[in-house]
Amino acid sequence: MTETAVNPLEATDTEVARAYAAERKDNIRTFVRTSPDYYVKMFDKIGASARFTPTLNLTAGLFGPVWFGARGLWNWALPFLIIEALAIVQIARGLFGDLAADAMARIASIEGTLELRRKQLAAAIENNTDKIDVYQRTVDSLEANIGGIRDEAAALAAQGPTIALTGLGILVLAKLAQSLAANTALEARFSDWISDRSIRSGMPMLQIAFSAIFMALIVAAAVLHYSFPGRFTLLSDFPTDPEVRLTSIAGVEGFFNWAVLNGEALFDAITYGIRLVLDALEIVFVSTPWIVIASLIILLTWLTAGVRMAIYSGAFLAYMGLLDFWEKAMTTLALLGTAACLSIIIGIPLGMFAARRPRFYSFIQPIMDFMQTMPAFVFMIPVIAFFGTGKPAAVVTTMIFGGTPVVRLTVLGLRGVPESVREAAISFGANKWYLLTKVDLPLASPSIRAGINQTIMLSLAMVVVASLIGAKGLGEDVLEALQYANVGQGILAGFSILFCAMILDRIVQGGRR
């Protein structure tokens, strides 16, 4: 009798596989806590294939979004909640809702007018005036309208069973989808839990209660609002008092009045500084002969972006000159250059300061979010209050809108400098100034250049808006075209703005490459 030799390596692999399987089962039991044997079986079935493996979870299908929310699967719970709420609303509307409420309200409105016209008709008949036919036709028309609306109301009321059955069908399909997707979603969360034990596991009673109450409130509010429109004003009108709005308006106006009166010296100083830069750039761009400016722009484009782009720049400048947009384009560039230069001069040092100070950056970040997201027409209101109208106000408005990218991307670039490179420079005796100028800024320069480019582009996007408060230039032509529906002027001026943007973009991008 011969004995079969057992390979020690195979025995070891088998033991490892068994140990892994046992550990996996223990982890699943720890994770799910309820019905562990069922979930061990389902998770093994799902994990055996890379494709979607449908499994049926009747508990998840029955309790729906409440089950998903209690399990912490809110990215699944909320979409299913919306679908189920829609289905339940349709069922409630079909069974209990007053589908003809709008039609009956229209009938009540028309009946009031009809009663008045009948009285006018009776008075006309009594007085034998020449308006009898007019009133009679009006009364007949209104009665016909009421009859048509009554038929429409009856047809709507008859649709109740169909609406309810449609909602029931949607609800059944949603329950089926939740039953099929529940185990797969939970298995994916289990995989995340294996690598990150801070992820919530099991079904804590607090989460079950919160999920159930939240879902019930959402569904109840939706059913009451859509099934019985107009009966619960709390669901349609936010509970407030008009005095709150009036008091807020008065408070804001009082603050700005105080700021204007007490900050006049500050705002005058800012206006004076902007005027200095703006006047200098207008002398360069507007007063200098066109051939000098065109030559310098073409040369700069050639040095940064190449010969081909220099040819395109020459063509773009020729377009502006031939269509008599040259002076306005140069005025636009002076205005844009002032806003962009001030934004860059302020933004890059601010970004350098904030890059190594997380608390300071977390403080200014909401301010920059406000500056970028608030519509330009809103923050133009305080700008006009503080600086009046004209070019300085337009520069400030442009700086508010376009000044944040250079700060954000400077911070991003400096934070992206590898720590190993900085540590190597420090180990070789680099001081802070050398580290900043020879290590941090050169490595962060692509991101900083991108921030400069974005600031210039966003500033140019404010050309038309700035023209509303007295800024001259190409934006003025576009604004006039909008006011007087002058399509040709608006399109041609718009192309000039586009060409200015392309030239500036290629100069900055070319330098970065």
CA 458-460-465 angle, to 5 degrees, is 95
125-144, pLDDT tens digit by residue? 777 777 777 777 887 787 77
Average pLDDT in the chain = 83
Q: Write down the pLDDT at residue 14.
A: 76
Q: Quote the DSSP letter at residue 116.
A: H
154-185, pLDDT tens digit by residue? 776 677 788 889 889 999 999 999 999 999 99
Residue type, 451: G
Q: Is the pLDDT at 221 greater than 90, yes or no? A: no
Q: Which residues, including other chains, have CB under 8 Å from residue 381's CB and lie 6 or more apart? A: none
324-349, pLDDT tens digit by residue? 888 888 888 888 878 888 888 899 99
Q: Write down the pLDDT at residue 175.
A: 92
The DSSP-derived string for 201-244 is: -S--HHHHHHHHHHHHHHHHHHHHHHHSTTT-HHHHS----HHH
Mean pLDDT across the stretch 245-270? 85
* Nearest C-alpha neighbor of 89 from the set 162, 163, 178: 163
Q: Write down the pLDDT at residue 170.
A: 92
Residue type, 84: E
449-494, pLDDT tens digit by residue? 888 888 888 887 787 777 777 777 788 788 888 777 778 888 888 8
DSSP 3-state of 52: coil
Q: Write down the pLDDT at residue 333.
A: 82
- Most confident region among 69-83, 273-287, 456-470 by mean pLDDT: 69-83
Element (H, E) at 255: helix 242-262
Tokens of 284: 């360069």
Looking up tokens 């589908």, which residue turns up? 99
Q: Which residues, including other chains, have CB under 8 Å from residue 53's CB and lie 6 or more apart? A: 45, 46, 184
294-316, pLDDT tens digit by residue? 898 888 888 887 888 889 888 98
The gap from C-alpha 63 to its chain's centroid, in whole angstroms, comes to 33
Q: Which pLDDT band, with edges at 50, 70 and 90, does 513 fall under?
A: very low
Neighbours of 56 (CB within 10 A): 12
Q: Which residues, including other chains, have CB under 8 Å from residue 509's CB and lie 6 or more apart? A: 305, 449, 453
Calculate the CA dihedral of residues 378, 475, 329, 281 and round it to 10 degrees.
-30
| Residue 98 phi, psi (nearest 5) | -90, 90
- Cα–Cα distances (Å) from 508 to 82, 156, 162, 451, 453, in that order, read 48, 64, 63, 10, 6
Q: Write down the pLDDT at residue 2.
A: 47
Q: Write down the pLDDT at residue 511.
A: 47
Residue type, 102: D
Q: Write down the pLDDT at residue 178.
A: 93
Least confident range from 45-54, 149-158, 358-367, 384-393: namely 149-158
422-431, pLDDT tens digit by residue? 888 888 887 8
Q: What is the pTM of this model?
A: 0.67
Q: Write down the pLDDT at residue 10.
A: 55
- Most confident region among 58-72, 107-121, 324-338 by mean pLDDT: 58-72
Tokens of 268: 């005058």
